[in-house]
Structure 1
Amino acid sequence: METFNRTVTKFILLGFSLGHQGEILLALVFLAMYITSLAGNMLIFCLVLGNSQLHTPMYFFLCNFSVLDIMFTSVISPQLLWNLLSGDKSIPFSACMAQLYFYFLLGTVEFLLLTSMSYDRYVAVCKPLHYHTIMRGEVCVKMVLASWLCGFLSVLCPTIQISRLSFCRSNSLNHFFCDTGPLLELSCTDTRFIELMDFMLSSLVIIGSVVLTLISYACIISTILLIPTTTSRIKAFNTCATHLTMISISSGISIFTYVTPSQKETLDAHKVPAVLTAIVCPFLNPFLFTLKNDSVKEALRKTVQKTCDMIMENVLATFKGNKFVLGKSL
């Protein structure tokens, strides 16, 4: 371990203690999940963008959520895969600070976007006659922009404060990416103010998002229970259950990891939840949120059929053209 008087130029990400072969195997698993996550979320983005039937507030939010998932997992996965496959565990100081900032920025935006999606479902179920009046296009855009603005403002100050710390103990981070707790652990500066600020902001964003979502779903469930037909009730429950499950998982992991007065006490316990948040959830979200939806399945079927028809038309046109040229030459 290297020791420094003032600060560092790079950090060493200790990651997982599995040995070289174990790390290669883990890298292959993460690579498969990363590629699948990119492909699934890009497919959702293209489907929503290219099908007018999906140009509704719900799919607008799901499309934004897919873009957010692509960005979120790409903040961590490429660097992690490089560290595991190459054996080079170093990351420059500037890249570490950028990774820290964008990880928490995108994580904050994701919570706020999930809250916006819960409000969209509340209006759709509880106020169906006013849905298109309330959830107008400009309102949806403002909700998404507000999520990004709040994320930008809430994460900027803590990141600046952390980047100004003196790291004189070591440059080895006990994590697989640049997280707040491991960085604060290495600092020889008094970090109590930063820890308090992180705790307050994390509590405000995560617990506030969970409370608003639970209020929305309490109203949704009470309305669903009044629906007379069993089929309609089951359909309404299925529409909302996935969203409620995903925000429960995300909020549970984040509360365990970040809504604590000090993150330095439980560093070893943070790696598995971080893998779930940064890699597993973006991998599962396309399948749980969107691709199982009947409207999306129908749009995908039509897109595949249209693509196959175009390919066949081109093949037939090429075949006829070649036949014509061959007949002319004969």
Structure 2
Amino acid sequence: MEKANQTHVSEFFLLGLTSDPQQQMWLVVLFLAMYLLNVIGNTVIIAAILGDRRLHSPMYFFLSNLSLVDICFTTVIVPQMLVSMLMQNKAIPFAQCIAQMYFFVAFGITDSFLLAVMAIDRYMAICNPLHYTTTMSPRHCVLLVAMSWVVSHFHSLIHTLLMARLSFCGPNTIHHFFCDVQPLLTLSCSDTSINEVLAFTEGSLVIMSPFLFIVVSYVWITRTVLRVPSGRGRYKAFSTCSSHITVVVLFYGTIISVYIRPSSTYSVTKDRIVTVIYTVVTPVLNPFIYSLRNKDMKGALRKVIGKAEQPGPSFSPNRMTSSEQAGAE
């Protein structure tokens, strides 16, 4: 009888980052600029990798997939947020909200797994260069990327199905700028214990497992590099990992602070600011982080924007680039 008297919510209202119209206008300009930089920057990265044969190696294959996921990750959130602020319409249908949550979780976890795969690639290139060609073969690289996508979407599907079975009978105001797991759980009028246990156990496992792979990989990389006799050789080896380490710190530092804790400690103001960093800022920075200190990428980018460059050698997906070889020595 109690359930029969409950009214199922048909839509939610996203409060966004601010209710001040003046602040919303400059936020629209800021987030639109960052979104365009994200799409253009990551698209150029993908085009450069596809167009330059010197970049047809495992490391850049993984980077192109990371760039694609970064575009999808931000596209799930930012366009809806911009429309909401411009049209002053904060309503989002229930089904659309659940769909946004699904793709946000799926692409976020895919990002996490790809960063782990890239760490494994650096480990093999530096610590086991003689077995690099065999271990990081084209078939193995495709399997690693495919597993990253499949496991991530399966994980997201579980959370989405469990969220869809919950009852929402009011209030229906989400104190966030998109439909995330924790804000939705706080609005449910039914028992969310299963969702919270799954988020804290299985969710922590899915997020932390790639992070542990990254940490272990870099422990072995550090041990190997410190054995290199020349300071120049150590610098070259570490320089091939610096971009990846920077992205890992930005991504996991914010992700862990938001999700690896009970929902009772959820803070609206703090978590919205931190969420902006890994949903909008980090995907924008990734193209710059991976290209500024990479000579091979700089050359490919010059080629993309129309500057003349000598043709590279024939396609060899197993061949290590000059920066990779320097790190492996």
Q: 1-side partners of 2:265 and 2:187: how far apart?
A: 10
- The equivalent residue for 1:194 is 195
- The equivalent residue for 1:325 is none
Q: Kindly provide the amino acid, as one letter, of the partner of residue 252 in structure 1.
A: G
Q: 2-side partners of 1:284 and 1:150: how far apart?
A: 26
Q: 2-side partners of 1:292 and 1:241: how far apart?
A: 9
Partners of 1:181 and 1:264 within 8 A in 2: no
Q: Which runs of 5+ in 1 are unaligned?
A: 309-330
Q: 1-side partners of 2:268 and 2:7: how far apart?
A: 23
Write out the 4+ residue segments of structure 1 that deviate beyond 3 Å after TM superposition: 302-308
Q: 2-side partners of 1:138 and 1:228: how far apart?
A: 35
Q: Larger Rg: 1 or 2?
A: 1
- The equivalent residue for 1:207 is 208
Greater shift in the superposed pair: 297-306 or 124-133:
297-306
Q: 2-side partners of 1:248 and 1:259: how far apart?
A: 15
Q: 2-side partners of 1:224 and 1:264: how far apart?
A: 41
Q: 1-side partners of 2:153 and 2:69: how far apart?
A: 14
- The equivalent residue for 1:184 is 185
Partners of 2:48 and 2:303 within 8 A in 1: no
Q: 1-side partners of 2:237 and 2:77: how far apart?
A: 35
Greater shift in the superposed pair: 240-249 or 128-137:
240-249
Q: 1-side partners of 2:218 and 2:78: how far apart?
A: 33
- The equivalent residue for 2:137 is 136
- The equivalent residue for 2:104 is 103
Q: Kindly provide the amino acid, as one letter, of the partner of residue 113 in structure 1.
A: L
- The equivalent residue for 1:313 is none
Partners of 1:15 and 1:174 within 8 A in 2: yes
Q: 2-side partners of 1:266 and 1:302: how far apart?
A: 46
> Residues 69-128 of structure 1: CA distance to partner in whole angstroms, max 9, x if unpaired?
000000001001111122111111111011000000011111111000000000000011
Instruction: Find the residue that maps to 2:67 and give its secondary structure.
Output: helix
Q: 1-side partners of 2:292 and 2:48: how far apart?
A: 10
Greater shift in the superposed pair: 262-271 or 45-54:
262-271
* TM-score normalised to structure 2 length: 0.89
Instruction: Find the residue that maps to 2:176 and give its secondary structure.
Output: coil
Greater shift in the superposed pair: 212-221 or 288-297:
288-297
Note the C-alpha offset of 1:263: 5.2
- Percent identity of equivalent pairs: 42
Q: 2-side partners of 1:265 and 1:232: how far apart?
A: 46
The 1:244–1:152 alpha-carbon spacing in structure 2 relative to 1, beyond 3 Å, is same
Q: Kindly provide the amino acid, as one letter, of the partner of residue 259 in structure 1.
A: I
The 1:264–1:164 alpha-carbon spacing in structure 2 relative to 1, beyond 3 Å, is farther
Query: Which aligned pairs between 1:203-282 and structure 2 lie closer than 5 A?
Result: 203-262=204-263, 265-282=266-283
Instruction: Find the residue that maps to 2:92 and give its secondary structure.
Output: strand
Q: Kindly provide the amino acid, as one letter, of the partner of residue 107 in structure 1.
A: G
- The equivalent residue for 1:161 is 162
Root mean square deviation of aligned Cα: 1.6
Instruction: Find the residue that maps to 1:91 and give its secondary structure.
Output: strand
Q: 2-side partners of 1:155 and 1:264: how far apart?
A: 22
Instruction: Find the residue that maps to 2:263 and give its secondary structure.
Output: coil
Instruction: Find the residue that maps to 1:11 and give its secondary structure.
Output: strand
Partners of 2:196 and 2:263 within 8 A in 1: yes
- The equivalent residue for 1:80 is 81
Q: Kindly provide the amino acid, as one letter, of the partner of residue 41 in structure 2.
A: G
> Residues 278-310 of structure 1: CA distance to partner in whole angstroms, max 9, x if unpaired?
1001110110023541101112223444579xx
- The equivalent residue for 2:315 is none
- The equivalent residue for 1:317 is none
The 1:92–1:265 alpha-carbon spacing in structure 2 relative to 1, beyond 3 Å, is same
* TM-score normalised to structure 1 length: 0.89
Q: 2-side partners of 1:242 and 1:18: how far apart?
A: 37
Relative contact order (C-alpha < 8 Å, sep 6+): which is higher? 2
2:53 pairs with 1:69: no
> When the two structures are aligned, how many residues end up with a matched partner?
305
Q: 1-side partners of 2:159 and 2:70: how far apart?
A: 23
Note the C-alpha offset of 1:260: 1.1
